[in-house]
Amino acid sequence: MIRVGVVDTTFARVNMGDIAVRELKALSGSIAVIRRTVPGVKDLPLAAKLLLTKEGCELVMALGMPGPKPIDKTCAHEASLGLIWASLMAEKPIIEVFVHEDEVSDERSLYELTVKRVKEHALNAYFMLFRPEELTRGAGKGLREGGPDAGPIGGRY
Residues numbered 31 to 50 that lie near a copy of itself (CB under 8 A) are: 35-39, 42-43, 45-47, 49-50
Burial of 94 (0-12, 13-18, 19+ CB in 10 A): buried
47 contacts 81 by C-beta, under 8 angstroms = no
Identity of the residue, 31 or 92, whose beta carbon is nearer to a copy of itself in the bound complex: 92
Rounded to an integer, what distance in angstroms lies between the CA atom of residue 127 and that of residue 39? 29
Among 16, 33, 122, 129, binds a copy of itself (CB under 8 A): 16
What is d(CA 52, CA 40) in angstroms, rounded to the nearest whole number? 19
Q: Answer yes or no: are the C-beta atoms of 59 and 95 closer than 8 Å.
A: yes
Residue (11 or 28) nearer to a copy of itself, CB: 11
Residue 91 DSSP symbol: T
Quote the least distance from Cβ 150 to a copy of itself, whole Å. 6
Q: Does 58 bind a copy of itself (CB under 8 A)?
A: no
User: Could you give the string, one character per residue 78-117, with x where binding to a copy of itself holds by CB under 8 A and - elsewhere?
Assistant: xxxxxxxxxxxx-xxxxxx---x------xx-xxx--x--
Q: Distance of CA 79 to CAs 29, 32, 140, 141, Å? A: 31, 25, 27, 27
| Largest CA-CA distance found in the chain, in angstroms, rounded | 48
By CB under 8 A, residue 5 contacts a copy of itself:
no
State the nearest-atom distance from the C-beta of 84 to a copy of itself, in Å.
Answer: 4
C-beta of 30: minimal distance to a copy of itself in Å?
Answer: 21
State the nearest-atom distance from the C-beta of 53 to a copy of itself, in Å: 7
Residue numbers 120-139 binding a copy of itself by CB under 8 A: 121, 124, 128, 132, 135-136, 138-139
